Structure 1
Amino acid sequence: MLVVENLTKRFGRNAAVDSMNFSVDRPMMLGIIGRSGAGKSTFLRMMNRMTDATQGSLTFEGRDVLTLRGRERRNWQADCAMIFQQFNLVPRMDVVSNVLHGTLNRRSTFATMFNLFPREDIHHAIDILERMGIAEHAAKRAEALSGGQQQRVAIARALMQDPKVILADEPIASLDPMNAQIVMETLRRIHEEDGRMVIANLHTLDTARRYCDRVIGMRDGRIVFDGTPAQLTTGVARDIYGADDSFSEDATSTEIRDAARPALTARAAATA
């Protein structure tokens, strides 16, 4: 389904991604971990065609997306939705209009300029917000929502594109543990219910183990681990992060302890 071969991105003499090779044979939730500067975000930006590769190929369903130009490239970007750490919403625009921006690739310039949306698209956007648990905020400005709610709006906007793949670049890095859990459970549910591939860049090992089917570890632009969550031991994590024996997972944990989870989850659903 997805084949990455010798994928490389250089900035001058430095290789942000260095001969990356892996394949995915079915829709899954794939986590990519590694320290800052490991090449995780650069890989997602190449896959979404926000930046060009220096060399290599990235083939999805038999088509090398790195060779696409013009309309074909834009169509691929619709099929490959991107979710960012900082949400990338229009703060003063209402929530439902932000979601409807997921349809911009298939609308005319005139309709885009005057925010003219078909009634069926508006209903569909509200249905997606209902699925995200935030339909009651549809008429509010995006800036009035909490960080967790804004990230769910960003996910709703991505779903409005009806993509085959969702790329999430550090989707919980700026969220507290309760909201981080809600966002990750939302992405996991989208994968399971819709059969969509989800690729998420993550910093925290417990999150990768809990929500992902497979984990890739990157260090200095190269893949240094590719395996199941169960194989992601503390020793392996030390190798990925280039850490010594003092490395502790607790410092990066976003886990909500089981004993407190019911109360926290209820509170998060009410206030997130």
Structure 2
Amino acid sequence: MLEVKGLTKRFGANVAVDAVSLSVDRPCMIGVIGRSGAGKSTLLRMMNRLTEASGGEILFDGRDVLSLTGREKRGWQSDCAMIFQQFNLVPRMDVVSNVLHGTLGRRSTLATMFSLYPEEDIHTAIDILDRLGIAQHAAKRAEALSGGQQQRVAIARALMQDPKVILADEPIASLDPMNAQTVMEALRRIHDEDGRMVIANLHTLDTARRYCDRILGMRDGRIVFDGTPEQLTTGVARDIYGAGTDFSEAATSTEIRDTAPVAAVERRLAKVTV
């Protein structure tokens, strides 16, 4: 489905992403980990075409993503939805209108100016909010919601695009542990129930192990690890973060383990059983 070949981004003399290559042949949930400045956000932004690549290729279902312009580029950005750490909502606008902004890519300029939404889209937006457990807040201003609720609104807006791929750039970095769990469970359900590819930059190793099928580790703009949660041992984590034997949970605000959490193992066993 997705093939990245030699993807590179330079900012002057600095190489933020250095000849990254990866292949994804089926929808799955992928976590990208690495220290700050490793190139994780730049990688996702190039995939979505928010940042232009300096070199390389991105192919999705055989289509050259980096060559798209105009309407075709906007179409790709609808197919490849982006979720940000800071939510990027309109604070003083009601929740359902924020969700409906996910349809802007396929609406006319006049309809956008006057906020004219088809009744079918409004019902779809409310259904998505209900699926994410926040339909009761549809009429509230976005700024009245908690951080976790706002992030779920941002996820709902992404789902309004009906994307094939969801890119999440540090979606839980500014959330407390309980809200972070709620958001990650929502993203996991979207993958499991809809069959959408989800790629998320994450700053905690236990989160990556628990929710993701595949984990990429980035260091200095390159992918230095590509494996399963079970393969992400303490030693591997030290290599990804460029740390010594004193590497501890303080480095990622999480507990470092040599095996995947029981919940992740149980989920995989359940999939095999089904």
In which range does the TM-score fall when normalised by the shorter chain? over 0.9
User: 1:56 — aligned with what?
Assistant: 56
Separation in structure 1 between the aligned mates of residue 169 and residue 224 of structure 2, nearest angstrom? 19
Q: Paired residue for 1:163?
A: 163
Partner of 1:111: 111
On the 8 A contact 1:79/1:161 being kept in 2, the answer is: yes
Mapping for residues 127-142 of structure 1, pairs under 5 Å: 127-142=127-142
For residue 244 of structure 1, report the CA deviation from its aligned partner. 1.3
Does residue 1:67 correspond to 2:73, yes or no? no
Give 1:259's aligned residue: none
In 2, distance between residues paired with 1:179 and 1:129? 16
Provide the residue aligned with 1:188 in structure 2.
188
1:2 lines up with 2:2 in the alignment: yes
- Kept in 2, the 8 Å contact 1:6–1:21? The answer is yes
Residue 33 (structure 1) shift: 0.4
The secondary structure found in structure 2 opposite 1:203 is: coil
TM-score, normalized by length of structure 1? 0.92
Q: Distance in 2 between matches of 1:206 and 1:178?
A: 14
**Counterpart residue identity of residue 224, structure 2:** V
User: Partners of 2:135 and 2:189 in 1: how far apart?
Assistant: 18
Contact 1:80/1:164, CA 8 A, preserved across alignment:
yes
Cα 1:254–1:136 shift into 2, 3 Å: farther
Q: Residues of 1 paired with 2:254 and 2:176: CA distance? A: 8
Per the alignment, in what secondary structure is the counterpart of residue 22 of structure 2? strand
1:101 maps to: 101
Q: Distance in 2 between matches of 1:232 and 1:253?
A: 16
Give the SS at the match of 1:89.
coil
Whether the 8 Å contact between 1:180 and 1:254 is mirrored in structure 2 is no
3-state SS of paired residue (2:200): strand
CA distance in 1, matches of 2:254, 2:180: 7
Counterpart of 1:52, as a letter, is E
The CA distance in 2 between the partners of 1:61 and 1:26, in whole Å, is 11
- Give the CA RMSD over aligned residues: 0.9
Q: 1:99 to 1:146 in 2, by over 3 A?
A: same
- TM-fit CA distance, 1:253: 4.2
**1:86 alignment partner in structure 2:** 86
Counterpart position of 1:13: 13
Cα pair 1:234 1:249 within 8 Å, conserved: no
Deviation by residue 1:81-125 (Cα, 9 ceiling, x = unmatched): 000000000000000000000000011111111111010100000
Deviation string for 1:26-84 (max 9, x for gaps)? Answer: 00000100011100000010000001110000101101101101110000000000000
Secondary structure of 1:37's aligned partner: coil
Structure 2: distance between partners of 1:253 and 1:194: 31
Structure 1 spans left out of the alignment, 5+ residues: 256-272
Q: Is residue 40 of structure 2 the alignment partner of residue 32 of structure 1? A: no
Distance in 2, Cα, partners of 1:21 & 1:75 = 24
Output the CA distance in 2 between the equivalents of 1:176 and 1:254.
Answer: 13
Q: How far apart, CA to CA, are the structure 2 residues paired with 1:60 and 1:22?
A: 12
**TM-score, structure 2 as length reference:** 0.92
Q: Secondary structure at the match of 1:190?
A: helix
Structure 2 equivalent of residue 269 of structure 1: none
Runs (4+) off by over 6 Å = none
Report the equivalent of 2:43.
Answer: 43
